[in-house]
A and B are shown apart, each in its own frame.
Chain A
Amino acid sequence: MRPINTIAVGFDGSPDSKVAVRWALTLARHYDAHVVVVHAVGLLGRFDSKNVTTELEESLIALCDECAIVHTRARLEVVDGDACSVMLRMADPPISADLLVVGTRGQGAHAGLLLGSTSLELAEHSPIPLVIVPSS
């Protein structure tokens, strides 16, 4: 098994994604790993004038404090694309994540029950280990 140096975790600000980030941060502390917290910006992200980056950064700092991990071990990456494609790209350079982490569902993902949620899509296509963190 290859060492876990970098963990990429999906984050859209939803309660489920916060659970996933907490889990990833806790694991990172255990393995002395870095965490890349990934936010995918879709088409509507551009159409919506609201800038979510500051909000997500503040959430991330709070989650780091909660998990007792230094802020420099986690950084936010805001990436254009749909959530599944963006997470899959984290396995490639320059991030070269060793582990992907996602919640069971994020914002607007209720349709995933029928059509394959981000987590199920990732389970099918991810070239590296994937952890799906249940919401409870």
Chain B
Amino acid sequence: MMLIINGSTDDAGHEDPGHPERPERLAAALAGVEDLHLGDDLLAVAPYSATRSELVRVHESTYLDQLGAFCYEGGGDLDADTYATYDSWSLAQYAAGAGLAVIKEMRIRGDGVGFVAVRPPGHHALRDRAMGFCLLNNIAVTAAELTSVGERVLIIDWDVHHGNGTQAIFWEDPNVLYVSTHQWPLFPGSGAPFEVGGLNALGATVNLPLPPGATGDVLRQALDETAAPAIDAFKPTWVLVSAGFDAHRADPMADLALSSGDFAQMATFAASFAPAPGRIALFLEGGYDLAALRSSVGAALGALLGSDPANERPTSGGPGAEVVRSNRDAREIALRIAHDASQ
């Protein structure tokens, strides 16, 4: 199977000395790809900058104007976490367009696995605001393109932080099923199990918060028991993954306890819902320990491509089994209440 990747844009201009969201992250992710020794089975598509019409599907026009102007005036801090530089506006548009280029190639070929290896990341970016290191919501731009041509898109977000931006953008969209595993409590503070989607899309948001220390077995339990039935019922035609790797036990940003082997298993889980070859793409989100990022990218993509890098063993024995069950109950109650209220 071929890996179709877009990540060749020089991203060095988006950098703030000392900030953990740094260019070395992308180099580590691409090293994880190199470790797979794909040879002719690796196709790098040309960089593509998302157009205004592609961006306004998920972002407010005013926000795009302000962000562009802010960058061209030299940039600075957008909030306590998020920075932008002179180059950030241009790079963010390439990051937002990268997924579009990848799925275009995949649709032509009808085959392959997509990997959108870009920064800045995207899943915290809201319609009208940058947030959590994210400027434009890269995965949302691609999902919106797919739904505009009638596709039904499953987004699995396994970044350790809840993808509040993606959830908010598709809150009322019944053609996008958003499934998130994340540590809770943790930034951004959203992602409770009773957040199940808006009135037009009840059940199309599935949040699976996990306690600090949770291991892969607990995460898989949450996916199997709560997410899988919802995904089966949704019947996606495309699978996009917000692939952050900061749930790895070595990552300094959070306290989940996953290994690269767990990411391989999650990738396999996600791929099991792709209805045909060439219908799954991974988007790089977080991941701040460079060695863990490299090994986890290799493990996840290796699982999808049938390659077998020397992964760490999947983890087990951490806390959270009870939390998974109570979260499932909370979700069911929230759905019942919402359904009754909508009658």
**Contact across chains for A85 and B80 when beta carbons are under 8 A apart:** no
Whether a CB of chain B sits under 8 angstroms from the CB of A115 is yes
Contacts of A106 in B (CB 8 A): 80
Whether a CB of chain B sits under 8 angstroms from the CB of A75 is no
Chain A 46-87 interface residues, beta-carbon cutoff 8 Å to B: 46-47, 79-86
Chain B 307-321 interface residues, beta-carbon cutoff 8 Å to A: none
Q: Residue of A at shortest CB range from B184?
A: A80
Given A42-B187, A80-B188, A115-B66 contact (CB < 8 Å): yes
Chain B 65-104 interface residues, beta-carbon cutoff 8 Å to A: 66-67, 69-70, 73, 76-81
Chain A 77-134 interface residues, beta-carbon cutoff 8 Å to B: 79-86, 89, 106-111, 114-116, 121
Q: Residue of A at shortest CB range from B20?
A: A47
Given A82-B131, A82-B132, A115-B129, A45-B187 contact (CB < 8 Å): yes
A12–B81 Cα distance when bound, in Å, is: 13
Contacts of A121 in B (CB 8 A): 129
How many A residues are at the interface, by size bracket? 20 to 34
**Contact across chains for B80 and A42 when beta carbons are under 8 A apart:** yes
Q: Residue of B at shortest CB range from A107?
A: B80
Whether a CB of chain A sits under 8 angstroms from the CB of B133 is yes
Interface of B is mostly: loop
Partner of A80, one of B69, B76, B186: B186
Whether a CB of chain B sits under 8 angstroms from the CB of A41 is yes
How many B residues are at the interface, by size bracket? 20 to 34
Contacts of B190 in A (CB 8 A): 81, 85
A121–B67 Cα distance when bound, in Å, is: 16
Whether a CB of chain B sits under 8 angstroms from the CB of A1 is no
Contacts of B288 in A (CB 8 A): 47
Q: Residue of B at shortest CB range from A117?
A: B79
Most B CB within 10 A of own CB, among A45, A107, A108, A110 = A108
Chain B residues in the interface with A (C-beta under 8 A) = 19-20, 63, 66-67, 69-70, 73, 76-81, 128-133, 161, 164, 185-190, 252-254, 288
| 13 A–B pairs (Cβ distance < 8 Å), ordered by A | A43-B187, A45-B187, A46-B254, A80-B186, A81-B187, A81-B190, A82-B132, A85-B189, A107-B80, A111-B78, A115-B67, A115-B70, A116-B129
6 A-B pairs closest in CB distance: A81-B189, A42-B81, A108-B77, A80-B189, A43-B81, A108-B80
